[in-house]
């Protein structure tokens, strides 16, 4: 089981990655959204940030499952009766 410090580090890492991605993708210019173009480097950096955040979240979920927790069970389909 990871220590509380390790868990906190993973959460902070995921949040940092997503915050940086949000900042990188936020355009404060006068170009219409449909006309925005990202360089290949920006796309690559955005994908890396997403991958790192997803990896952190998967590690947290794996730790939770190992401790008997994990994602909630799927909800049964609603009945049309």
| pLDDT of amino acid 70 | 63
Q: Which residues of the chain have pLDDT under 50?
A: none
Residue 42 in any domain: the answer is yes
| pLDDT of amino acid 24 | 77
| pLDDT of amino acid 81 | 55
Nearest CA to 21 out of 42, 2, 40 is that of 42
Backbone angles phi and psi of 61, in degrees to 5? -65, -45
| pLDDT of amino acid 12 | 86
| pLDDT of amino acid 80 | 62
| pLDDT of amino acid 79 | 66
Dist CA 67 CA 58 (whole Å): 14
Residue 18 in any domain: the answer is yes
Number of domains in the chain: 1
Domain with 21 in it: 4-66
Residue 80 in any domain: the answer is no
| pLDDT of amino acid 72 | 62
| pLDDT of amino acid 46 | 86
- Helical H segments across 1-81, by residue range: 4-25, 40-66
């Amino acid at each position: 089981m990871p220590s509380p410090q390790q868990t906190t580090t993973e959460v902070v890492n995921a949040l940092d990655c997503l915050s940086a991605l949000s900042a990188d993708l936020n355009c404060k210019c006068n170009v219409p959204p449909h006309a925005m173009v990202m360089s290949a480097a920006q796309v690559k950096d955005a994908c890396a940030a997403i991958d790192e955040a997803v990896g952190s979240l998967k590690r947290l979920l794996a730790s939770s499952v190992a401790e008997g927790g994990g994602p909630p069970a799927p909800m049964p389909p609603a009945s049309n009766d």
